[in-house]
C-alpha cells in the first residue's frame, strides 16, 4: 500500500511550508527579499556602510572625550598655576621643580598643534 502525500500548504505566498517544518528564518528572509525584488548585494553594502558609520561615530565620541579631558586638565593646570602665582610667597605650594614642569607642560599643551588642528577641523566642518 503506497502512502499518499498530502500537498503542503504554502505560507504567505513564498513557497514555504506553513507548518514550520524545514522553515529556516534566514531562508525565509532571503525568499521574502527575492519575492519583493530587494537586492541582497545592496542590502549587504548598506549593512557594511552602517557598520563603518557606527565605528566612525564611536571613534569620534572617543576623540571628543579625549579632547575634553585634555581641555579640563589644561584648565586645572592653569588654575593651579594662577593660584600659585597669586598667593604670597609664604603660602606657595609648588616647589621650583614642580613649577618649572607645570610651566613647560602648560606652554607645550597650550601651543600644541594637535589641539588647534582638531578644533580648526571641527569648526570648518
- List, for residues 102-122, the tens digit of each pLDDT value: 888 888 877 776 667 777 777
Average pLDDT, the chain: 77
DSSP class of residue 1 equals -
> Kindly report the CA angle at 23 between 17 and 14, in degrees rounded to 5?
50
pLDDT of residue 108: 84
Residue pair 23/32 in contact by the 8 Å Cβ criterion: no
The answer to whether the pTM exceeds 0.75 is no
Please say if the pLDDT value at position 2 is more than 80: no
> How do residues 64-92 score in pLDDT, each as one tens digit?
999 899 889 988 988 998 998 898 888 88
Where along the chain do its domains lie? Answer: 38-124
CB-CB neighbours of 99 under 10 Å: 16
| Chain segment 33-61, per-residue pLDDT in tens | 777 766 777 878 888 989 999 999 999 99
Residue 52 C-beta-side C-alpha neighbours within 13 Å: 6
Residue 21 has pLDDT above 50, yes or no: no
Closest among 44, 65, 46 to 54, alpha carbons compared: 46
Amino acid at each position: 500500500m503506497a502512502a499518499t502525500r498530502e500537498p503542503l500548504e504554502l505560507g504567505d505566498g513564498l513557497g514555504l511550508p506553513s507548518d514550520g517544518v524545514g522553515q529556516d528564518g534566514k531562508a525565509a528572509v532571503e525568499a521574502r527579499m527575492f519575492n519583493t525584488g530587494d537586492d541582497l548585494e545592496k542590502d549587504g553594502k548598506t549593512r557594511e556602510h552602517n557598520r563603518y558609520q557606527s565605528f566612525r561615530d564611536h571613534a569620534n565620541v572617543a576623540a571628543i572625550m579625549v579632547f575634553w579631558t585634555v581641555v579640563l586638565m589644561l584648565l586645572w593646570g592653569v588654575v593651579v598655576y594662577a593660584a600659585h602665582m597669586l598667593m604670597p610667597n609664604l603660602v606657595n605650594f609648588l616647589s621650583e621643580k614642580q613649577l618649572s614642569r607645570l610651566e613647560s607642560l602648560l606652554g607645550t599643551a597650550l601651543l600644541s598643534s594637535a589641539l588647534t588642528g582638531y578644533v580648526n577641523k571641527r569648526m570648518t566642518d
